[in-house]
Structures are given as structure tokens and as C-alpha cells.
Structure 1
């Protein structure tokens, strides 16, 4: 009888633990209206920081030193998206320095999107771009060093 008294709380604990379901891994339904609209490029971050405009101050955000760099992302309620960005010419100089300039051309892209768990997925042909939504900012982090980009951030207009 003593063994039963000792085992009963353990059995009850196991039963309660196994009976409880966890929704931690269940997808969170997000409100698509949070991402539908027009977004403007607010940050285009690079590593290592550069002094693009030769004012003696380096920065990680190209947009603070190169005002011609711009981009727009439009998320449509029908599940489509399109973007236009000014093309950049990034040329290595030496010792981790790069010459970064805007070209006179822009690139456009379009595709379909999905939004779940505060993550916006943009599908472009066979390429997937992931953006995390935080407030009115969408951030795509790639963590690439120059001539690639660390991250890009769009703000909702």
C-alpha cells in the first residue's frame, strides 16, 4: 500500500504533463493588413562600415551617406508584391574599402507573398526572401559582408 501512495503523485504528474497540449509550435495567424501597403527602404546596412561620401565619418547604413540609394516595396492584398530599387555599383578598392555609387538604373522584381508568425515571405521565381515584421519595420537580415549587404530595412508608409 505504501508503494501505491508514493507512485500515485508521480502517476498523476505524468498524466497531467502528457495530457496538456502545447501550442508553442502552432503557427500564429497574423493579420495580413499589417504588411499590405507601400514600404520605403529605410536602411541598407553593410559591413565593414564605409565613408561613402568622404566626409570623414564611416557608417554601416548606406542611405545616410548615399541619398540616391532608394527602394520601394509594395505588398498587395491579392497576394502579390513588387519592388523597385536603385542599382548600386560596388567596387573593391583595397584594404576593406569599397567605392559605392548609385547607377542611373533601377531594378524591379515581383512575385507572391505569405505572412505567418510575424515573418513575411516574398517568393521571386525560385528565390525566397524573408522579412521579420516589428512594428512598422520589415527587416531582411543576410549577414553578408561587402560587396553583399548585412541587412535591409523597410518602413511602412
Structure 2
């Protein structure tokens, strides 16, 4: 069950710096309602996911794998998310599949709580996020990164210890 939930959690939890105007807390489900698309996905180290001999910390510049990542929060407390499921083949070439997950959410005092149906059961996670009127951002680190990049040991993603996600509201 954790193998399926961690990519979704990776989409839903990160941190980014903003101006003082954007740092105002927004504390209710109504503030979160809307559609968001991934704008940046930044690693803590430069990597070469596409094996073109050029490293980059901004992973959206390394592959188009993350281009379809998006999330929609509905007024009724439900959400739908398109996530990238990243792995590597025997030659360390990036393999990208997308998956759609859905469930329920609540948002209060900077904490986003999601419940997802997984393998006939449910999984609930809560995490601090930064929500502004135009962005949703969060960070994943350590074990969550290892789960997000399936089989990362010995791959071009093996040095990543932290990922910062920023989604723009559209």
C-alpha cells in the first residue's frame, strides 16, 4: 500500500520561499479549491536523468516525465491527481508512467490531510504545505524520495535527498 501512496504524497507535500505578500496563511478548504499544474520540481543536487551528460537541479528540464502532473481539489472535499511514476530500466534509462489517484482532503492551518483508496483499503497522511493564492508548494525528503524514484539506488536519481514541488493554480 505504501508503494502506491508515496508518489501521491510526493505530489502533495513540499516547501518553497515566497515574498511576504504570498506568505499569508490560507486556512480552509475553499482556499485550496481549484486546479493546479506542476511548474517546478527541484532536487537538492544536480542529476542527469535523461543521460545527456548535462546535470540539472530542475528536474522538469531533465525529462518531460513530470509534464502531466496536476491536481484538482473540488469544493466537496474530493481531489484527483495525475502523478508520474518514475523508475529506471536495466540500462538506467528513465521509465515514466502516469497514474491517476483520487480521494478526499481537508486543509486547515497549513496542514493538508489526504485520504486515498489503495488496494481495497485507505491510507491517510497529513503534511504541512505552503498555500498562496497562486501556488501550492511542498517538500519531500529522505525515505519519501526513495519511494518516489522507484529503485533509485545506483540510478541517475540516487543522489537526490530532497525534492521541492511547486504547483501553479490555473
| 1:92 CA displacement | 9.1
| 1:110 CA displacement | 1.1
The corresponding residue for 2:137 is 139
- Asked whether the 8 Å contact 1:69–1:88 carries over to 2, the reply is no
The normalised TM-score by structure 2 is 0.59
Answer with 1 or 2: which has the greater Rg. 1
- Asked whether the 8 Å contact 1:139–1:153 carries over to 2, the reply is yes
- Asked whether the 8 Å contact 1:69–1:102 carries over to 2, the reply is no
Q: Does residue 37 of the first structure (1) align with residue 29 of the second (2)?
A: no
Q: RMSD between aligned alpha carbons?
A: 2.9
Alpha-carbon deviations, 1:14-45, whole Å to 9, x = none? xxxxxxxxxxxxxx872433210111112233
Structure 1: where are the runs of 5+ without partners? Answer: 1-27, 94-98
Aligned with residue 98 of structure 2, among 106, 111, 126: 106
Structure 2: where are the runs of 5+ without partners? Answer: 1-24, 117-121, 147-151, 153-159
1:6-25 equivalence runs, <5 A: none
Deviates more, 1:58-67 or 1:125-134: 125-134
The corresponding residue for 2:82 is 84
SS, match of residue 84 in structure 1: strand
Distance in 1 of aligned mates of 2:165 and 2:105 = 18
- Asked whether the 8 Å contact 1:132–1:140 carries over to 2, the reply is yes
- Indicate how the Cα distance of structure 1 residues 58 and 36 shifts in structure 2: closer, same or farther if over 3 A, else same: same
SS, match of residue 152 in structure 1: strand
- Indicate how the Cα distance of structure 1 residues 139 and 55 shifts in structure 2: closer, same or farther if over 3 A, else same: same
Q: Does residue 127 of the first structure (1) align with residue 121 of the second (2)?
A: no
Distance in 2 of aligned mates of 1:127 and 1:47 = 27
- Asked whether the 8 Å contact 2:89–2:95 carries over to 1, the reply is no
Alpha-carbon deviations, 1:62-113, whole Å to 9, x = none? 11221232301010000001111232224698xxxxx46243x311111111
SS, match of residue 141 in structure 2: coil
The normalised TM-score by structure 1 is 0.63
- Asked whether the 8 Å contact 2:45–2:57 carries over to 1, the reply is yes
- Indicate how the Cα distance of structure 1 residues 81 and 141 shifts in structure 2: closer, same or farther if over 3 A, else same: same
User: Which ranges of 4 or more aligned residues in structure 1 deviate by more than 3 Å?
Assistant: 53-57, 90-93, 145-149
